[in-house]
Structure 1
Amino acid sequence: MELIPLNTECSQLLAPIHGFLHCATPDEWLAEARKPEHLAALLVDHANCEMKAAMSAHSLVRRYCLPKDKRKLLPNLDFYKSLDALPEKGEVLGKQALIGDNKRVFDELAKNDLLVKMVRLIQEELHHFEQVLEIMAARGIPYATLSASRYASGLLAHVRTHEPAAIVDRLIVGAYIEARSCERFARLAPFLDEELARFYVSLLRSEARHYQDYLTLAREHAGQSIDDRVVFFGEKEAELIALPDPQFRFHSGVPAAA
């Protein structure tokens, strides 16, 4: 099989990601991921990761972009699938015309960078989810039930419970998950068949900025330096990636049998 090399553009996209992450994907994980018998699990879990990323972003919008009594105005995830571009703030809420209190909600949303970045991310992640499902269907791989890895839960276990610390930590966690995804797209691409390799390189191009969006939002919500928390979660993330892991998943650690 001919390897698909990463071009200069991809190398430039990866440079800050490599600088952000505290470790590279272990060769032992890559060796396991390259095995044909793991392709179905890899793609199913990848699809799950894309959907979970969209759901996490949507949860942030619901919790932090609107007061509790207005959250019902936000649509469910299916709404975003039909959007061709970032919608106007009125369309985000699924309303054509609002007056009174709702108008004031719109005025606040217009200033909300979290809303803008998360809606864009939701759209992209849902699109990628559909793309993975299409690839799976073409290869006769069913979208079967697959247990989640320890990765995301292992990071979220360290999120503080008071605000604004909670949202800051969640955004930092989001940054590491997005960065690791891109790093693994790049590590895997040269060893996959041509269709998958090109797809993963396209995902790298599309998602390379996501971790920076999360970090920018974390700094805005903190109002002070978050460097210590970024380092803290970087160390925790590296531990999850480097330690033996009994499951093989897209974000799993070193295979326990390796």
Structure 2
Amino acid sequence: MVAGIRGFLPCPTPDAWVAVALQREQESTLLIDHANCEKKAAATAMALMHRYTDNSMLLNKMSRLAREELRHFEQVIKMMAARDITYEPLSASRYAQGLHKGVRRQEPGRLIDTLIVGALIEARSCERFAKLAPELDRELGDFYFSLLKSEARHYADYLRLAQSLADKAHLADRIDYFRGLEAGLVESADTEFRFHSGPVATQH
């Protein structure tokens, strides 16, 4: 499951990112940003359902995905409450925005690209959960292990939807393009730690 996702991603998460993510003082940021990511994932799925009402395959897959992401959100905020972590506002990383900058504006390219971006985000989330889970405390580690199956399915759902809309050669070209963008975002330094950030250059 995770091996296939690693093959889809352009590069592994840098060890420097993992080292910061495992620092005790980053636990609040990790969980708050994780909660935000689950909300955004559900919102993205709902937005696709509103925009593409004539695509029954998309409607079914995104409906299930949105429900699962909101359930994950509930699980994260429950864990935050148990750890006395206040759900405070947190700025987003540049990751998702950086990927979406490459999305074409005209259909069907817009939808195809949006689905590829969704697949990459879900794949990266799954890969990072897998990296962190064995190193975290048992409760949080078990929770992150429990997310791997659904995150992998979400990645596969986005990819299958994209495959249903584009021929193999065209899709491969677009995936390669976004993999290049993703690698740059993941490997280049960030100034603030986030779940999808690059390695943190400076700690404040």
Task: Tell me which interval the TM-score lies in, with the shorter structure as reference length.
Answer: over 0.9
**By percentage of residues, which structure has more helix?**
2
**Amino acid across the alignment from 1:242:** E
After TM superposition, give the deviation of residue 165 of structure 1 in Å.
Answer: 0.2
Unaligned stretches of 5+ residues in structure 1 = 1-12, 67-108
In 1, Cα distance between equivalents of 2:163 and 2:110: 13
Tell me the SS of whatever aligns to 1:171: helix
In 2, Cα distance between equivalents of 1:221 and 1:144: 40
After TM superposition, give the deviation of residue 132 of structure 1 in Å.
Answer: 0.1
TM-score normalised per structure 2: 0.96
Give the 5 Å matches for 1:1-258.
13-65=1-53, 112-223=56-167, 225-257=170-202
In 2, Cα distance between equivalents of 1:210 and 1:181: 10
Q: Which moved more, 1:125-134 or 1:200-209?
A: 200-209
After TM superposition, give the deviation of residue 205 of structure 1 in Å.
Answer: 1.9
In 2, Cα distance between equivalents of 1:205 and 1:213: 12
**Amino acid across the alignment from 1:43:** L
After TM superposition, give the deviation of residue 256 of structure 1 in Å.
Answer: 1.3
Percent identity, aligned pairs only, is: 57
**Amino acid across the alignment from 1:27:** D
CA RMSD of aligned residues (A): 1.2
Number of matched pairs = 202
After TM superposition, give the deviation of residue 220 of structure 1 in Å.
Answer: 1.3
In 2, Cα distance between equivalents of 1:192 and 1:232: 34
TM-score normalised per structure 1: 0.76
1:49-82 Cα offsets, whole Å, 9 max, x none, are 001000001000000115xxxxxxxxxxxxxxxx
Which one has the largest radius of gyration? 1
After TM superposition, give the deviation of residue 206 of structure 1 in Å.
Answer: 2.1
In 1, Cα distance between equivalents of 2:165 and 2:47: 16
After TM superposition, give the deviation of residue 209 of structure 1 in Å.
Answer: 1.4
**Amino acid across the alignment from 1:240:** L
Tell me the SS of whatever aligns to 2:165: helix
1:8-44 Cα offsets, whole Å, 9 max, x none, are xxxxx11100100010010000000010000000000
Unaligned stretches of 5+ residues in structure 2 = none
In 2, Cα distance between equivalents of 1:249 and 1:48: 10
